[in-house]
Amino acid sequence: MQVAALGRRFLVEKGCFRLTRQELKDQVQHDRFTDAVSGAVLYASAHRRILIRAAIAVVAVAIVVAVALWYSSYQRSIRRQDLEAALVVAQAPVGQSQGGTSYPTQQAKEQASVKALSEVVAKHGGSSEGLIAQYYLGTVKAEMKNNAGAESDLKAVANSSSEFAPLAKIALSQLYAGENRTADAQALLQGLAKKGSDLVSKPQAEILLAQLNQSIDPKKAKDILQSLKNNPDPAVVRAVNQISGEQAR
């Protein structure tokens, strides 16, 4: 078939018979299609084993990808279950309860919370769920006056790419302020005030910065609050008015 096509082209080119331009175009396209199909059939026949192996390899890769996605989803569900169980402990009431988990004293609850959250961090550290557990662990340690432990956990989350990092920075700034490490607290809040995030907006960070500056730099605090007076968010305006009222007393 390929020889016939070549011979036909040769006769046309030598003027043995003439085709119109459209007929010649159609013939060339037809021959190219025929050649391509013929070539593919010949290649498939000659390389049948290779093609079968390639097909098997493609199927194997698809299976591996499917298993990997399933396993990833399964692991994520396990992490979430572990985190939820730990948060049930951390958020349990103290004293008598009509049902569910409860603890007789705050100290008993804090000890159980540290244990449950630490287990999640140890098991799933670095994952989103592990970082959430570490954030809660840092706040629990701060309540227990374990400042060194709280700083270590909150720093780990604050320096991560987790969406909870801004919240960890706020908790860390409050910890620093309580230790009179004002410069460290200011640096964290100023960083948040520059760009903001989904969980902590720029105005919210600026309000916290103004509160921090109330006792050390009242003028700066007043300037920050003044810049937020016309903010479109009613919650921000209410917070500004409240802090401004406290300054006026």
Mean pLDDT over 25-44 rounds to 48
Cβ neighbours for 59, distance < 8 A, ≥ 6 positions apart: none
16 pLDDT tier (thresholds 50, 70, 90): very low
Mean pLDDT over 14-37 rounds to 46
Cβ neighbours for 147, distance < 8 A, ≥ 6 positions apart: 141, 175, 178, 179
- 205-236 confidence digits (pLDDT tens): 999 999 898 888 888 888 998 898 888 888 88
Long-range contacts of 18-23 (CB under 8 A, 24+ apart): none
Lowest-confidence pick of 56-70, 117-131, 149-163, 173-187: 56-70
- 71-116 confidence digits (pLDDT tens): 667 788 899 999 999 999 998 898 876 677 889 999 999 999 999 9
**pLDDT given at position 46:** 54
**pLDDT given at position 225:** 87
Residue 42: is its pLDDT beyond 90?
A: no
Distance linking the first and last C-alpha atoms of the chain: 101
